[in-house]
């Protein structure tokens, strides 16, 4: 990093995907609680599944019927996608997708996923939150079942990884 005109050099730090997830959880308005699990799969295999948002997100999130990138919206790892819920609600997301990192934001929702190698496997984490006014109160109502929902998502992800391995 070049020094400023005053000669001062500011320190920089790179955050890994899981640390980024924790920072977002600590600063997001809805105060999401990230969940993590260690998977017995190499990072490339796990990320092959979770980064295939169009085909895998509906398997991982029961409330999502489809997640479709908009034509011509890709700009490197940034694009727009339309999610349709099982009830037919449509929400447009701005998506940032990079190896080991995914951030998805709509007018109403925030979602993030992160993965890093750990031991012989991969530590995977995710969070979701409401972005609208009152989102913290809605999140508090969802919090009691959050652990069970996270475990169910992780179980579905393990099954999807195994299905692709077969």
Indicate whether 129 pLDDT > 60: yes
pLDDT in tens, 4-39: 777 788 888 889 999 999 999 999 877 788 999 999
8 occurs within a structural domain:
no
The whole-model pTM stands at 0.85
4 occurs within a structural domain:
no
Residue 64, domain extent: 17-165
Cα dist. 82→20, 67, 78, 89, 153 in Å?
Answer: 24, 6, 14, 10, 21
List the single range of 67-81, 122-136, 140-154 with lowest mean pLDDT: 140-154
Residue-wise DSSP of the chain: -PPPTTS------PPPHHHHHHHHHHHSTT----EEEEESS-HHHHHHHHT-HHHHHHHH-TTEEEEEEPTT--BTTEEEEEEEETT--EEEEEEEEETTEEEEE-SSEEEEEEEEEETTEEEEEEEEEE-STTHHHHHHHHGGGHHHHHHHHHHHHHHHHHHHH-
pLDDT in tens, 58-86: 999 999 999 999 976 566 689 999 999 99
The CATH code of the domain that includes 33 is 3.30.530.20
State how many domains the chain has.
Answer: 1
């Amino acid at each position: 990093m070049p020094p400023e005109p005053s000669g001062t050099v500011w320190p920089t730090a790179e955050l890994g995907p899981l640390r980024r997830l924790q920072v977002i959880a600590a600063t997001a308005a809805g105060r999401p609680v990230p969940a993590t699990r260690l998977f017995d799969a190499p990072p490339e295999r796990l990320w092959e599944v979770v980064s295939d948002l169009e085909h895998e997100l509906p398997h991982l999130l029961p409330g999502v019927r489809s997640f479709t990138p908009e034509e011509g919206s890709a700009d490197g790892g940034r694009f727009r996608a339309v999610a349709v819920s099982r009830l037919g609600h449509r929400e447009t997301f701005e998506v940032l997708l990079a190896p080991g990192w995914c951030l998805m934001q709509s007018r109403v929702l925030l979602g993030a996923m992160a993965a890093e190698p750990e031991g012989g496997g991969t530590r995977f984490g995710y969070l979701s939150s409401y972005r609208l006014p009152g989102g913290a109160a809605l999140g508090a109502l969802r919090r009691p079942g959050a652990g069970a929902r996270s475990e169910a998502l992780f179980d579905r992800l393990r099954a999807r990884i195994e299905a692709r391995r077969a």
